[in-house]
Amino acid sequence: MSLNKELLQILACPKCRSDLSLVGEEEGLQCVQCALVYPIREEIPVMLIHEAIPSGEWEKGIRTKD
């Protein structure tokens, strides 16, 4: 099951309010402005700033905060 397209249109980065785009096969939502990726867990976007992964770390395969 994929994320609802209407939901994706209204979601914004909680840090800077910029638009988000899907990363990979619906693994995360990326904010280009902040260079953060918000993970999607069990088809639910985790829109918490303290759970966001820097884009560079995401590209290295890191999917959780320590």
Does residue 47 contact residue 11 with C-beta atoms inside 8 Å? Answer: yes
CATH numbers and ranges of domains, the chain: 5-59 (2.20.25.10)
Phi, psi of 8 (to 5 degrees): -60, -35
Whether the predicted pLDDT of 1 surpasses 80: no
pLDDT tier for residue 65 given thresholds of 50, 70 and 90: confident
Contact yes or no for 4/16 (Cβ under 8 A):
no
Per-state percent for the chain, helix, strand, coil, to nearest 5: 20, 30, 50
Q: What is the pTM of this model?
A: 0.90
Tens of pLDDT, residue by residue over 12-58, are 999 999 999 999 889 999 999 999 999 999 989 999 999 999 999 99
